[in-house]
Amino acid sequence: MSAAARSGEAAGLMDRMYRHQRHIYDASRKFYLLGRDGMIAALDPPLGGSVLEIGCGTGRNLIKLAQTYPNAVCYGLDVSEEMLVTARRNVERAGLSHRITLAQADATAFDPQVLFGLGGFDRIVISYALSMIPPWQGVVAQALRTLAPDGSLHIVDFGDQAGLPGPFKAVLNRWLTLFHVTPRPDLGETLDALARAEGVRARTTRLYRGYAVHAVAERGVA
Ligand SMILES: C[S@@+](CC[C@H](N)C(=O)[O-])C[C@H]1O[C@@H](n2cnc3c(N)ncnc32)[C@H](O)[C@@H]1O
């Protein structure tokens, strides 16, 4: 299958899933997409810095980001045009259309120059999207290559569940499968290996007994 066909397939799947869910997405996901606000609080972009969210969904994180860092210039991409309809409306309602630019694109094959006129970003955020993208390692690799010289990549997602009780894990995983979500237990190790290949330092923190993971890779840190 060609790359364009794969992107079209991903867009179709996500559009079908979020066509109706997008209306209750933020209200429902706040209970289980844990760690997003902590990631935003630790982002600390430079003055006037650029921040890209890959898989931005309804724009919830970008709006929080823009409000938390009033000098940052924000960009978001998502494969689902349905999600972007909600994101555009939310951004407009928040009065942030002049600071947040949104575009439809597949995280596995996007050109930041074509989409946003930028070659690299000071901060890149990927929040609960890698667990929905089958070739997620390629997305991490591209994100690392798309960092500005002192840029950093910030990931939050479902974790390895190592400290969670067995029955809870079983129910959680069955439920996540319904939403096409596959936790990536080796996210930390994979990021570490990909980051080392790029000369970037990475660190991973397990949250809530491994329910979630917060990983950061920083370019320019010895
Ligand atoms: C669980 S939502 C997370 C949204 C947002 N990041 C958040 O934290 O609320 C995952 C998002 O990733 C998007 N997505 C899935 N596959 C994608 C791909 N291949 N390229 C870009 N976005 C993708 C979905 O459309 C969806 O909006």
Residue 81 is predicted with a pLDDT of 94
Residue 211 is predicted with a pLDDT of 95
Whether the pLDDT of residue 2 is over 90: the answer is: no
Ligand 1 atom 26 nearest Cα: 57
Q: What is the pLDDT of residues 125-147, one digit of tens each?
A: 999 999 999 999 999 999 999 99
- Burial (0-12, 13-18, 19+ Cβ within 10 Å), 160: buried
Task: Taking residues 56-68, report their average pLDDT.
Answer: 98
Which is more confidently placed, 145 or 19? 145
Give Cα separations from 127 to 47, 61, 76, 84, 156 (angstroms). 23, 8, 12, 16, 5
19, 33, 79, 213: residue to mutate for ligand 1 pocket, most atoms within 8 A of CB = 79
* pLDDT above 70 as % of the chain: 100
- For 46, phi and psi rounded to 5 degrees? -65, 160
Nearest to 195 by CA among 171, 216, 168, 165: 216
Domain of residue 76 covers: 3-218
In 3-state terms, what secondary structure has residue 148? strand
- In the chain, what are the helix, strand and coil shares in percent, each to the nearest 5? 45, 20, 35
What confidence category does residue 6 fall into, taking pLDDT thresholds of 50, 70 and 90? confident
Task: Judge if the beta carbon of residue 78 lies within 6 A of ligand 1.
Answer: yes
Dihedral sign (CA 26, 32, 37, 39): negative
Helix axes 60-68, 81-93, angle to 10 degrees: 30
What confidence category does residue 216 fall into, taking pLDDT thresholds of 50, 70 and 90? very high
Place of tokens 């609080």: 41
Task: Judge if the beta carbon of residue 76 lies within 6 A of ligand 1.
Answer: no
In 3-state terms, what secondary structure has residue 33? coil
Distance 105 CA to ligand 1 centre (A): 11
Residue 109 is predicted with a pLDDT of 92
* pLDDT above 90 as % of the chain: 82
Whether the pLDDT of residue 89 is over 90: the answer is: yes
Number of domain units in the chain: 1
> What CATH code is carried by the domain that includes residue 195?
3.40.50.150
Task: Taking residues 63-82, report their average pLDDT.
Answer: 97
What confidence category does residue 222 fall into, taking pLDDT thresholds of 50, 70 and 90? low
Q: What is the pLDDT of residues 95-121, one digit of tens each?
A: 999 999 999 999 999 999 999 999 999
Task: Taking residues 20-37, report their average pLDDT.
Answer: 84
Task: Taking residues 42-48, report their average pLDDT.
Answer: 96
Task: Judge if the beta carbon of residue 57 lies within 6 A of ligand 1.
Answer: yes
Residue 74 is predicted with a pLDDT of 98
Give Cα separations from 181 to 8, 33, 114, 136, 154 (angstroms). 19, 12, 29, 12, 19
What confidence category does residue 64 fall into, taking pLDDT thresholds of 50, 70 and 90? very high
| Residue 29 alpha carbon, nearest atom of ligand 1 | 9
Ligand 1 atom 4 nearest Cα: 57
Task: Judge if the beta carbon of residue 66 lies within 6 A of ligand 1.
Answer: no
